[in-house]
Every structure is written in C-alpha cells, then in structure tokens.
Amino acid sequence: MPKKQNTTISLILEFLSEASELLPLPFEAPYAWVKRQRSYPKSRYYSRLFDLKKRGAIKVYKQNNQKFIKLTKKGQLECLLLKAKVIKSRQWDGKWRVVIFDIPEDSKDKRSLFRGLLKNMGFKKLQASVYVNPYPLNREAVDYLQETKLLEYVRIMRVDDMGYDKDLKKKFNLK
C-alpha cells in the first residue's frame, strides 16, 4: 500500500510539536533546556519549514530583523477543511442530513475538494451530487463553504423521513 502523504495540518502540528521541544519546559533548569536544544536536529526543523513553504501553506517573512511564519489563505483553508470532521453524537436522532450541490465547472477543483470533505466527514454518495449522513455537519464545514464561496451552490437538508432507508442504515451501522 502506498505511503499516505502528510497533510498540511499534520505537518503544521508536527512542526509545532517539534518546535515546542525548543522551548523551555515549565520548571526546567536552564542547563537541561540548553542540553535538549543542542540535541534537536535543525535539519528537521528547516525541512518542515521548506515543505510547508513549497506547498504554499505558510509564508516566511522578515520584519524588524526578525523572521516570522504566517499561515497563508491556502493553509488556512486546508486546516479548516481538515478540522471539518463530523463528531458522531452518541445516539442517532433518526434524521438524515442530505447535502445537494451543483458547483459550476469553472470551480472544478473546489468541487472535488468539497466531495473529499464530505467523504472525510462520513457522508455516503446517494447520487452524483447528493450525499447523505445521519449526523449533522459541524461549524467548520459550513465555515469552509463560506470561505470558498461555495455556499450558494450547496443545499443542506435535515430529512425526518426517507422512505426506504434500510440500505443506508446498514451502511452507517444504525439500528
């Protein structure tokens, strides 16, 4: 099986967790911090920065002789997209969430990202541009739609009764 590529968010989180190794721990003696800092491989730090910069997720800039790292719009969208995961409620409320969309051809890349978002959130394809899930969309998913200006092409419905839904219940392991 091919190795799964690191996502921007995982790289950022990995970078931040590695960068936190460079900061002193609470109540850490100064000499212990210096010893830890010397053993940290700087090549790993720079390779993470280079990778994020190359992907367009971050921008490194200089201000007042100091370097700063800023998350770009692309990086923010990718983080928002990856944060938009459905948190399954403990009990299904008996209602289906149906998403219908008709995103224009000139936004083909956004459309495929949106389909990926729906799949990551656990939605199942009912028809070409119709996806269904027993759990509601979270705020991050709606924020992503607003940020990418796709909300006007998307309809999100809560359906109380869906005729024959035994196959869907089986797909989602419900009742």
Question: Tens place of pLDDT for every residue, the chain, 175 residues?
Answer: 444 445 555 656 555 555 555 556 656 676 676 776 676 677 776 777 788 888 887 888 888 888 787 878 777 777 776 666 656 666 788 899 999 999 999 988 888 888 888 888 889 999 989 999 998 887 778 888 888 888 899 999 999 988 888 999 898 888 7
Nearest to 123 by CA among 113, 114, 131: 131
Both structure tokens of 47: 């390779």
Name the domain count of the chain: 2
Residue 100 inside a domain? The answer is yes
Q: Which domain holds residue 119?
A: 87-171
Does residue 148 sit in the same domain as residue 94?
yes
Is the whole model's pTM more than 0.75, yes or no? no
Does residue 131 sit in the same domain as residue 154?
yes
Residue 166 inside a domain? The answer is yes
Beta strands in 24-121 (DSSP E): 58-63, 66-71, 96-101
Q: How many CA atoms lie within 13 A of 82 on its CB side?
A: 14
